[in-house]
Structure 1
């Protein structure tokens, strides 16, 4: 699914750089490297609940530990196959999660996310 989502983002023309962490642990390592180097965090993080090594909830527990300054302009979105209302409620009750979408990713969702990333960047 990462390949499909990456292609859709590329086709949208809104992404300059797309980094894919093939699992929660790799995603956290990418972010830790950015924080250590003083680099800007991504404008958008798409997070699945079901990932290899660590799941989305475990990712969020670790993501919470990053400096608020480096993640302040990042829109974190749950993009998952879970239709479970409890998953939706749990995700939206976490301050780190900005949005929750059910797969598959659609171009209309990308357009919505671009607008939300821009608004967050302007804050």
Structure 2
């Protein structure tokens, strides 16, 4: 991975969403590596690996997943974030338009934004703004 390549973790149990997001990123930026996780537990395990790999510049997190959902991921991330060499911005991405979810995101300091699915060019630009 080139030194200036940014890495994004996508944590979502929908494989089609991973495919679409990768295609959208490829169209916009060749200096980006997308790493997909179909379950939150795998993403947390990767973040905790002591092999000194580069941490992602951004995590895109689905709210509704099997076993461990996005809110559970945030709780577990809080337990490990002090051991990480940098704080990682997290964007919650979900098809939910429930105002209670949006309010909860605003009260969750680890979450930088809430973006609703499906993604479009405007939402992709919002995501890219957190990569700078």
Smaller-chain TM-score bracket: 0.7 to 0.9
Preserved contact between residue 63 and residue 94 of structure 2 (Cα < 8 Å): yes
Between structures 1 and 2, the one with greater strand share:
2
Structure 2 contact 25–32 (Cα < 8 Å) conserved: no
Whether contact under 8 Å (1:24, 1:52) holds in the other structure is: no
More helix by share: 1
The answer for unaligned runs of 5 or more in structure 1 is 119-123
Deviation at 1:7, TM superposition (A): 1.5
What is the TM-score of this pair, normalised by structure 2?
Answer: 0.77
| Alpha-carbon shift at residue 42 of structure 1 (Å) | 0.6
TM-score, normalization by structure 1: 0.82
**Preserved contact between residue 49 and residue 56 of structure 1 (Cα < 8 Å):** yes
Aligned in 2, Cα 1:116/1:16: closer, same or farther, shift over 3 Å? closer
- In structure 2, C-alpha distance between the alignment counterparts of 1:70 and 1:10, rounded to whole Å: 27
Residue 23 of structure 2 aligns with which residue? Answer: 7
Q: Are residues 1:22 and 2:38 paired?
A: yes
Q: CA RMSD in A?
A: 1.7
Report the Cα distance in structure 1 between the residues aligned to 2:101 and 2:81, rounded to whole angstroms: 25
